[in-house]
Structure 1
Amino acid sequence: MPDDDTYRQLISLLDTSSVDYRLIDHEPEGATDTVSALRGHPVSQAAKCIVLRVKVDRRTTRHVLAVVPGNRRVDLDAVRTLFAARYVGFSDAETAQRLARAVPGSVLPFSFDPDLELVADPDVVAQPRLYFNAARLDRSLVISGPAYAELARPRVAHIASPAPA
């Protein structure tokens, strides 16, 4: 199963890097608000991971994994500006699952596919504790934002909607 392979790849990466992390088992859930409640943390500490299709021009399409705090949305206009693109939209489910190597709701804030460019909002990498599903709907992981940034090496840019008041 591809998501089992992705889970194993993630754990291998974490173990070989000697980064502190913790696994959390919970009921299967992929919705950010619900799984944050199951894990017992504020939604703002969750990594919401969305696969986007970015049309730079008529012939060039890129795929981007956008990572924003769980209580915010991806700002598609900010992503369009970042890539000087003509169009940015959500990827179809089949493409997202193939590139992210995980089912919807369990997408990691890591890219293990060279065709999926990783971009994280600065508020994600600044989190003292960052929570996300670990390529499984029934298991999550917590790691510090700076450790995540060091391992995942995302492009860091303001791509989240404004924080709620």
Structure 2
Amino acid sequence: MEEALTVYKLLEELDIQYKKYEHAPAYTMEDIKDLDISIGGEYCKNLFLRNSKGNQHYLVVVSGSKTVDLKKLAREIPSTRLSFASDERLYKYLKLKPGSVSPFGLIYDFDHHVEVVIDQDIVGLDLLCFHPNINTATVVISYDDFYKYLKNRGNEIHYVQI
């Protein structure tokens, strides 16, 4: 729960309005659909990827209903071949565990090693849903506040059409 408290504290410092919901663990988008709560907003799928050399990492934020073609995404960014980063890399750069991947992990990317890739279709949405670095809670914020958070973190941002 300490992971979530760090997120809530930063959002408050940035004067970002948010709602939080606690729930059973949700490791996948299917798990989220099975939750017996009504949160509202667009649940985002967050993928932590690496290039073929392993010297660049990407956090992809996309609508939970979409499937990401890694070959097409690599061409759009541009990057060498993309694959899912290991659990060890996920923890090294974002201090996250599998099943709790979230843009809020950027809190721990002090060297701005991870580039953020955002699907154009979530830009401007009223409400976005993310895990607050643990998968037993959901945070709901506006896209504008999400962008405010990202600008505060300072990581490079790419916009793509997925």
**Which stretch of structure 1 is more off in the superposition, 136-145 or 71-80?**
71-80
The change in CA–CA distance for 1:63 and 1:159 in structure 2 (over 3 A counts) is: farther
> What SS does structure 2 have at the residue aligned with 1:152?
helix
Amino acid across the alignment from 2:128: L
The change in CA–CA distance for 1:9 and 1:82 in structure 2 (over 3 A counts) is: farther
Aligned residues of 1:27 and 1:138 also touching (Cα < 8 A): yes
Amino acid across the alignment from 2:159: A
Deviation at 1:75, TM superposition (A): 2.9
Q: Is 1:100 aligned to residue 120 of structure 2?
A: no
Q: Which runs of 4+ in 1 moved over 3 A?
A: none
Amino acid across the alignment from 2:45: K
The number of residues matched between the two structures is 153
The change in CA–CA distance for 1:143 and 1:40 in structure 2 (over 3 A counts) is: same
TM-score (norm 2): 0.81
Q: Is 1:89 aligned to residue 86 of structure 2?
A: no
- For 1:156 and 1:85, the matched residues in 2 are separated by 12
The change in CA–CA distance for 1:28 and 1:97 in structure 2 (over 3 A counts) is: same
The change in CA–CA distance for 1:68 and 1:24 in structure 2 (over 3 A counts) is: same
Deviation at 1:156, TM superposition (A): 4.0
- For 1:19 and 1:117, the matched residues in 2 are separated by 22
Aligned to 1:32: 29
> What SS does structure 2 have at the residue aligned with 1:102?
coil
Q: Is 1:21 aligned to residue 6 of structure 2?
A: no
Aligned to 1:76: 70
Amino acid across the alignment from 1:133: H
> What SS does structure 2 have at the residue aligned with 1:135?
coil
Query: Which one of 139, 142, 156 corresponds to residue 144 of structure 1?
Result: 142
Deviation at 1:124, TM superposition (A): 2.3
Deviation at 1:40, TM superposition (A): 2.4
Structure 2: which 5+ runs fail to align?
Answer: none
Identity of aligned residues (%): 24
Structure 1: which 5+ runs fail to align?
Answer: 161-165
Amino acid across the alignment from 1:26: H
